[in-house]
Amino acid sequence: VIRETEGRVLPEEFAVNAATYAGEIPRRIRSEVYEFKSMECYPAIVISGNPTFESAGRETPPAIQEGLNAVDMPGDEILHMLYASMLGDVFAWDCTQFSNIVNYILPIEADMDRAISSGSARVFDLHTEDAFHIDAGSYLGLFCIRNEERGATIISYVGDVDLSDRGFEKLWNDSFLIRPNVAHRTSGSGDYRSILFGARESPYIRANFNIIDGCARDTESMDALTRLYERLYDVRQEIVLGSGDVIYLDNFRTLHGRDVYRPIYGGSGRWLKRLYISGDIRLSRSQRSAANARIIHVPE
Ligand SMILES: O=C(O)CCC(=O)C(=O)O
Ligand SMILES: [Fe+2]
């Protein structure tokens, strides 16, 4: 139906139009997704058993590809975007993955030892996606095409940590530099911000534990951050996505990462498709070329 109506289904356009079709998703699924969104008491929502459509017969690409925004979307990406449109507006950054709206997560041999999504030999440690930016997405979606290696996504939910201890008080102060992951070609804002924000009884969190050296203003703040990491580590869960599973993480309440795994190279390696989802796309209007544009320009 979507292909008949839309003709070519291109990522930037469909990111805007998907919501008009999402009302046709079965109510059972919609109500679960909206409960996840409104209650803010779950780390993530998983929808399993999705078809992987054309991607099932495709090899995992050897590298991140340029120009995907000009290519007709396969069915799995259409479905991913339909689900995502129930949570917010899908967008991309121009400082990573060539501005592709649909990002690829796949193993690259040359990146093996790097703490980035294409690495494998080292833990890609807990982080909020794009916490360096004030318009970090509210949610993050990962649709699994294949994962024969059973590489695990790690998640830690801030709701599982008791933050009432006075030692965590410092985390509410604007005393921390939150730097971008190395996959982003930008240095971040350089502004000091708090790690915890929002409501005291159910805080939001933003952090990147891949890059924490020297990121706190003083030693007490650094100690609080280290203790937070230990608590988050204690409550971490491993999720092994299988073919056709899609997970939407609450990026304000859940940190994620990727465990060490042994990748298969040469076409059948782990392949996830990532979508960034904004809860308030208007926040980034000054960095997008038009109201309905979905690529955020980040200064280098
Ligand atoms: O590979 C994974 O499971 C997660 C990687 C990651 O952190 C991301 O996609 O942002
Ligand atoms: Fe990530």
CA 168 to chain CA mean position, Å? 26
pLDDT at 187: 72
CB 196 within 8 A of CB 168: yes
CB 216 within 8 A of CB 136: no
pLDDT at 147: 98
pTM of the predicted protein model:
0.97
pLDDT higher than threshold 80 for residue 145: yes
Q: In whole angstroms, what is the distance from residue 258 CA to residue 118 CA?
A: 10
pLDDT higher than threshold 90 for residue 79: yes
Instruction: Please give the residue that has the higher pLDDT: either 185 or 202.
Output: 202
Indicate the top mutation candidate among 142, 250, 255 to test ligand 1's pocket, ranked by most ligand atoms within 8 A of CB: 142
pLDDT at 214: 87
Residue 133 C-alpha to ligand 1 middle, in angstroms? 18
pLDDT higher than threshold 80 for residue 183: no
Q: Is 142 helix (H, G, I), strand (E, B) or coil?
A: strand
Residue 263 C-alpha to ligand 1 middle, in angstroms? 14
Element (H, E) at 255: strand 254-258
Residue 161 is given by DSSP the state: S
For ligand 1, whether the C-beta of 256 sits within 6 Å is yes
CB 161 within 8 A of CB 231: yes
The closest of 135, 116, 123, 103 to 238, measured between CA atoms, is: 123
CB 71 within 8 A of CB 274: no
CA 48 to chain CA mean position, Å? 18
Tokens (6 digits) for 47: 């929808």
Q: If you average pLDDT over residues 9-14, what whole number do you get?
A: 96
Looking at the CA of residue 256, tell me the nearest atom of ligand 1.
7
The closest of 101, 48, 95 to 277, measured between CA atoms, is: 101
Residue 280 C-alpha to ligand 2 middle, in angstroms? 20
pLDDT higher than threshold 90 for residue 207: yes
Position 181 confidence tier, pLDDT thresholds 50, 70, 90: confident
Q: In whole angstroms, what is the distance from residue 16 CA to residue 14 CA?
A: 5
pLDDT at 208: 94
Give residue for tokens 């730097």. Answer: 179
pLDDT at 115: 87
CB 97 within 8 A of CB 64: yes
Residue 220 C-alpha to ligand 1 middle, in angstroms? 30
Position 210 confidence tier, pLDDT thresholds 50, 70, 90: very high
Q: What is the pLDDT of residues 91-144, one digit of tens each?
A: 999 999 999 999 999 999 999 999 899 999 999 999 999 998 888 999 999 999
pLDDT higher than threshold 90 for residue 24: yes
pLDDT at 190: 77
Mean of all residue pLDDT scores within the chain? 95
CB atoms within 10 A of CB 1: 7
CB atoms within 10 A of CB 66: 11
